[in-house]
Structure 1
Amino acid sequence: MTAFQRLILRANSGRSWAANAITLRSLITLVEGCLLVALGVRLLQAGGLLVSGTAGISLLGADLTSLSFGSLFFLINLPFYWLAWKQLGLNFTLRTLGCVTLLSVLSDVLTSSLPLGEVSLPVAAIAAGLLIGLGVTLLFRENASLGGLNILSLHLERRFGIHAGRTTFSFDLLLIALAALAYPWPQVVGSALAFATLSFVLGRYHRRTPQTTKTTRDITHSSEDSVQAAG
């Protein structure tokens, strides 16, 4: 199981109704997280780079079609809300829907209002990975996410025993392969750097956050044990 998926489970574990209630502070945090991610996406767009998950698929689709990133990101995430509701509850799903919608709007607004010239691909990749990683961690703190393939991976692991980490890795490999067909190699390498930076940020957040419930510890340890056994 990836750090991203552990964080989704941890954000949703053992929370009372009071902890799930929307407050002004949590609302501001969600907006801040979406804005950081939108800025990261804008940098990726300026460099013609991708990142993992549905955001990467949306960036690729925006380059190959006439649709905007925001429109594609909103549409691609629609099938995942039912899985999120079944796996992680209604509160998590509603917050995620709100964040996906807000990010879709912010990204399209920044695309039209924040023109960027030529950017350094390594700098854009690292900065975007950091911004998106920090933004996503803020959303996790408030029991929300940006939807995506990680929820599908969690569902496949729970329903069919298919390891979530392997599923996510397969999706990322497929996305990199598609990027290799559509982009010059400097952008493919830059995209891989953005993937790695985002994973690094989420991994650091995971290690520094204590486990909140025994259930989450058991899920994480079980998944890690299966990785070691497979290796």
Structure 2
Amino acid sequence: MQIPHRWLSILEGCLLVALGLHILNSVGLLITGTAGVGMILMQLTDFSFAQLFFVLNIPFYLLAWRTLGPVFTFRTFISVSLLSALSELMSHYVEISMNPLLSGILGGLLVGFGLVILFRHNASLGGLTIFSVYLERRFNIHASKTTLVADVCIFIAAFMSLDISSLGYSLVAFLFLSSVVGRYHRPPKWAQMPVPDSGK
């Protein structure tokens, strides 16, 4: 049985993101989006990253289901599950030793290209990504703008958990990620459709 092109692309996008996140984590840099929020909160609470990431995603799944449709939500759920499994495997079997600046650049690029692939195939990695796709579809606000604003907020909050050098290298990763999404992401036809009004 041949694997559909869309699902193969989603797998490839998740692989790129998982590798990018693994590179960033290998030198203690802050990751992006909801995962970055979970990483910060993990330093302030007794909950694990997996628990925080799951809880943080719940309201965004509801938003995706009500406004972006069950297909988008299902593909996002699969993507999040794939990313979680791949990240777990990489943490056990992939060892990386890299300069922090190069880690920030390469990690940001990989995550950015992975997100572009997922966006083009009506999927995301949950959390703030869902919110950025929703704003793009509902108000025609480019996903890169929402991603950049969210990452800047996360960067500001990270002052309590990271040192200055790590914050600087994390900012490099944020900028490269946003640059990739901004230059290569083009809203597909599904993103230009009006969001159904579920409140009436």
Shared fold per TM-score greater than 0.5: yes
Structure 1 position 47 matched with structure 2 position 19: no
CA contact (8 A) 1:70 1:103 kept: no
Q: Relative to structure 1, is the Cα distance of residues 214 and 135 closer, same or farther in structure 2, using a 3 angstrom cutoff?
A: closer
Structure 1 residues 52-88: Cα deviation after superposition (integer angstroms, max 9, x where no partner):
3112123334556676545543442222111011111
Q: Percent identity?
A: 41
**Structure 2 gap ranges (5+):** 196-200
CA contact (8 A) 2:27 2:100 kept: yes
The TM-score, its normalising length taken from structure 2, stands at 0.79
Q: How does 1:150-165 map to 2 (within 5 A)?
A: 150-152=129-131
Aligned residues: 192
Amino acid at match of 1:98: I
CA contact (8 A) 2:13 2:117 kept: yes
Q: How does 1:1-231 map to 2 (within 5 A)?
A: 24-62=4-42, 69-117=49-97, 119-152=98-131, 171-206=150-185, 209=186, 216=192
The TM-score, its normalising length taken from structure 1, stands at 0.69
Q: Secondary structure at the match of 1:48?
A: coil
CA contact (8 A) 2:120 2:188 kept: no
Cα RMSD between the aligned structures? 3.3
Measure how far apart 1:174 and its partner are. Answer: 3.0
Provide the rounded CA distance (Å) in 1 between the counterparts of 2:112 and 2:158. Answer: 21
Provide the rounded CA distance (Å) in 1 between the counterparts of 2:38 and 2:88. Answer: 12
Larger radius of gyration: 1
Amino acid at match of 1:84: A
**Structure 1 gap ranges (5+):** 1-22, 220-231
Provide the rounded CA distance (Å) in 1 between the counterparts of 2:167 and 2:77. Answer: 30
Provide the rounded CA distance (Å) in 1 between the counterparts of 2:160 and 2:170. Answer: 13
Provide the rounded CA distance (Å) in 2 between the counterparts of 1:92 and 1:217. Answer: 13
Provide the rounded CA distance (Å) in 1 between the counterparts of 2:136 and 2:183. Answer: 24
